[in-house]
Each structure stands twice: as structure tokens, then as C-alpha cells.
Chain A
Amino acid sequence: MSNKRYNIRMAGIGGQGVVTASHILSNGMVIMGGESTLVPFFGSEKRLAPVESYVRIANGKIYEIGEIIYPNVIMIFHPQVITHGKSYTMPFYSGLKPDGVVLINSDHPINLVPDEVRELKERNARIYYIPATTIARDKAETDLATNMAMVGAISAIMGIPDLPSLEASVKERFLGKGFVVSGGTAALDNVIERKFAKKEQLLRKNMEVISAAYSYAIEHGWAENRQAAAV
């Protein structure tokens, strides 16, 4: 594999599992044998409040720390990040590097103001709309798997981490040695676990969502030109 490095900024709203998604993506990269670091960023923990998480993935050494100011991949987990400005970073594409990727969870393209359209065009941004919540509802019958759809799609777009590594990562997240999560996340975990009588079922549903979103991205041709996004 040639030298690849992705700086990913994820933005969403509290309760969507943005930080969990970053853990799964990050750990998936480590399982695949690469390097990754992640930095979660949120204020007081409440549903619907802005959340960001930053993930660096690479197949070489990563030193950089802190928030990602100049990402080459941006993942928007909820349309309100853009439409309601529910974000620490305004506008949502602030700092996006040339030829970067913006993956947005929305069933339809969002009406951006002309300045935003122009600036994204100037950066030659590749903007992809994925109906992540709809996929989550179809496959897992819950909005809570939206984050899995986002992870699946971005894995297809970047090529790393691959699906088997993501699956191992999801398993570790829900079955493995638990990692330190915030109180809020722990409470949500309980809700999810109650919803699925068996953890195996939860895992299977999550993987179905990931695979469906992965296929969606491939079918729409988003996986082409992968290398262009590397830092």
C-alpha cells in the first residue's frame, strides 16, 4: 500500500454516536495494521448538542495531535450541522484541503448558499450525500445505527480500514474489553443493548448497516480516485 494519510473531521449532534464512530474507525485502522489517533470534542453531554471528533488514519507514523483544522475528509452526521449551524466549526467545510471529501448524511442534497457553493468548488471538494439514517432504519430498524452507515461509506471512499477490520473493531467495541466512555455514552449503550436482546444480533445488524452503506458508496462510484484525498 502506498503511503496514505487521512485527516478526518466528524461533526454531528449529541446522541448520534459520532465519538463511537470515530473509535470504531480508528480502532479498525489499528486492527488493519495501520496507525490512528482520535480526539473527541464536545461540550456538556446532552442530546442534540454539537459534537465533533477528529480521526487521523495512516499507514505510517502519526505525530500530530489536537483538533483537525485542515481536514481532507469531513463527515457530517446530521443535516442540522449545516442547516442549523450545530457545529464547532463554521462553515462546516472550514479548512478543507483541496480535493477533499465531504460525506453528508442527508437523503437529499442540501441547499447551500452561493458563497458556500463557490468556496467548495474552488477547493475542488468532492461532496457525497448518503441517506445514512434511512439505511440505518432499513437495515437495523433504528436511527442509532446512523454512525455505522457513515463509517461503512467512508471506508469505501478511502479504502482504509477495510470491511473485515471494521467488523473486528465493531466486535471489540460491543463485546470486547470496554474502553473508557463518558457517562452519556454508557447510558446509550444500555439503551441499544436492551433494544437488541442478544449482542450477536446487535453486531449482525451493525455490520449489515456498514455493508449496505459501503455498497451504496461503491455503487455510486465514490471509491474512485481514492489517493487524491491523502494528505
Chain B
Amino acid sequence: MGNYEGNGIPPIGSVNKKGQVYTDPNELFFLSPRTQAFLTGSEVIKEAVKRASVDFSVAYPITPQSEASSLVGELYADGYVGDYMRGESEFAVMGQCAGGAFGGARVFTTTAGPGTLRAFENFPMWAGSRLPIQVVFTVRGVNSPLSIQPDTLEIAFMLETGMLLWHAETAQDLYDYILKGYIVAEKPEVHLPIGVICDGFFVTHTKDMVMLTPENKVLPHYNPYASPVTCMDMESPPVRLMRDPFVMKSNYISYMTHASWQLEIRAAIERSRKHTIQLLDGLIEVENPDADILIVGSGTAVSQGREAIRLFRDQGMKVGLVKIKTIRPFPYEEIKQATKNAQHIFVPEFNIAGWLAREIKATIERNERVIAGPHVAGGMTMPPEVIVEEIEKSLALRGKKEVIHG
């Protein structure tokens, strides 16, 4: 390393102990040549973490993220991750992650389903403490009877934690979101934890084509001194936070301070927009925006939607698509604009609750246009044929009888 300047952060252009060059994010993401690889989603997580200058990672196994967290352990063994340990439960893991981030480390972990819920108390704590920890949630079923299969219900629980939530559609998204996620989450005016979400099994265990950035280029080192709150070191213990919390004072000022801090967390989420738009090329992606019928979704429901659009196209029918990349911040304005001409808005989801349809209904005008569905849950897959059938059935009920099942 040897290239340290004033604050001890290795500068852009210097190399880490593995010979990887700390690289400007824009150069890394947009200018560096990419090479094609055919990998499972779990392997993609490893490849991203290998290039993310991660200081600290904690692992606890739960399907379907076990493979990914164990691969991060291999990265540690090879010297690509600063430190790595196994937690004794997901609750402990997220507490240990907080410890690492309080101390100024870039932290990475993964969990899923019941693990997410077990760890849950930590997520709003992270956000309130402005810890830009990254978790990859490989979402799966959470409720009894036990299911290890893909289900996006757990995202509904995460919506108001104060975390940034990005929902990857593909392994490629997953790779890019992990790397870009740190850059946005660590902006001083954002500085929040980020959940990079992918659908368990559908993304983690599926082998897919991914374009990787060069192996010898890594994200800039995290700069803990750019945090909007002091990081915990020997000179500046977070006295206010740890020893003198608001809960000790039952008076109006303390309530007010707490309320305003919650507003500040939400404002910080909003402030992440401009950075996210630049890095992800917008918070949404739109295909055929002038179509009467739109499919709006996030995660792998988008992929199934694309195939449904292909099936409709074969029948000579034009159907549009809105892919929502970020759940928090939620792209309110973008969705309003993208759906303004649509007559029928279908929201396919891999959960029983239809939380995304609710978010959209709360966002757009004339929300009777939103049809929540189709839904599958408990690990069921959603064949494109089912989306087609749902759309045809709903439109027939709405009096558009000319649509006939193909």
C-alpha cells in the first residue's frame, strides 16, 4: 500500500495488497472493458465483492445465500476481503456489521427470508446511525410452513427501515448494483445502509451470462471521515449515540429531535436519487411506453414480464413494460409519467400480499387502472403464460372481449 495520504485513505491509482488498482467509479463502471462470464448468481456476488474493496464481512448460512457467504469467505482466505467472521445468528451478524461500520469499515453481508426477519431490529438502527452497510438479500419465503423457495414478501417488511433498497432483475443487475450500491450509499449526503435484493434461486442459483469489470480494478477505498456522523475511533467515541440516547429523556425536545432525525433519514433516501439515476441510468426502465397495456414490476417478475410481452407480440399485440430498479427511493414521478397513457396496468409479483401494486396504487392517478397480479407465492414460479392468461382474463372481464386466449 505505502501510498497513504493525510487521512490514511489509499488514493485512486494506488494498489491494494492483491495488486488491484483503486479506480474511479465512473471509469470502473463505464469506461473499463468488460469480459463475459457464465456464472451462477452466487458466483456473481463473489465476483462483485472481489472488486468492492470490502473491509469486513460477516457470514451466517441460510438458504439461498449460503453459497454466496461461503464464497466471500474464500475471498477472505485469498486476501481480497479485509476481515471475515461467522456470526452466531443473523441478529448477531447484523450487530457485528454495525460494529464494523461504526469503526469506519466498508461492510458486506448476505442473508435471506427468516434470517432477514431475525436480524430485523438492526436495519432501522443502521439507518438511524447512518451506517452504509451493504446486505444482499436473496429473498425467499418467510412464513410457516417453512419454505426455502423464492418469494418477495420479505421486501414488504423492509420498506420503512430507512435503508436504500434496490431490486436486481438479473445476475448482471446484481453484479452492478453491489458495486454501484456502495458508491451511492457512501455519499456524505446519503450515507445509509443499502439492501441489494435479488430473488433467491431464480437469480442466486441460475447460471447466466454476466459482463464483468476487470479483475485488477477495485472501488475506491471507503472514506469513513466523509460520514455525516463521526465514526467511532479512540478520539471521538459516539457518546451521544451510545451513552446518552434520546430514550433517556422524556421531554418534547427529545421527541422532536428523534422525529426530525427520522425525517432526515427519509430525506437522505431522496438525496440518493441523483446519484442513483446517474449510475443505474434511471430508477426505472421503460419499454413500449405508448402501449395500452403495461406490465410493471421489479426483480425477476420483470424478466417474466418481458417473456409475456414476447408472447403477446407473437399474437400481434403490443404490451409495454416498466421495470422498477429501486424500491427505496421509490420512483414516484417516473412511474406517474411512464404509466400516464396506459389503460391497464398489471403488476405481477412473487408474493401473496401484492405490496408493489399497493405502492403503485398510492402513486399514480386513476389508480383503478392497476390490477394487482398475477401473484404466485411459496416458491412457485410464474410462467410468462400465466401473466398472459391473467391479462387476457382481466381484459375480458373489463369488456375487451376481442382478446382471445392464444
Chain A positions within 8 Å of B, measured between CB atoms, are 23, 26-27, 30, 35-40, 63-67, 69-70, 179-180
Contact = CB atoms under 8 A, between A and B. Distances in A.
Contacts of A26: 38, 207
Interface residues of B, number: 29
A185 to B, nearest CB: 13
Q: Is the interface of B mostly helix, strand, loop or mixed?
A: mixed
A128 to B, nearest CB: 25
B138 interface: no
Nearest to B67: A180
Of all A-B residue pairs in the complex, the 6 with the closest CB atoms, nearest first, are A66-B381, A63-B303, A63-B306, A65-B202, A69-B383, A64-B307
Contacts of A39: 201-202, 205-206
Contacts of A35: 209
A38 B303 contact: no
Contact of A66 (B43, B71, B382, B385): B382
A153 B304 CA distance: 30
Contacts of A179: 39-40, 43, 207
A38 B205 CA distance: 8
A40 B201 CA distance: 9
Nearest to B311: A231
Contacts of B71: 180
Given A30-B38, A39-B201, A70-B385, A65 B209 contact: no
Contact of B207 (A37, A63, A67, A70): A37
28 contacts: A26-B207, A27-B38, A27-B207, A30-B209, A36-B38, A37-B206, A38-B206, A39-B206, A63-B302, A63-B303, A63-B307, A64-B304, A64-B306, A64-B307, A65-B199, A65-B300, A65-B303, A66-B150, A66-B383, A67-B381, A69-B381, A69-B383, A69-B385, A179-B40, A179-B43, A180-B42, A180-B43, A180-B67
Given A69-B381, A70-B383, A64 B303 contact: yes
Given A30-B38, A65-B381, A180-B43, 9 more contacts: A23-B207, A27-B38, A63-B302, A66-B382, A69-B381, A70-B383, A70-B385, A179-B43, A180-B71
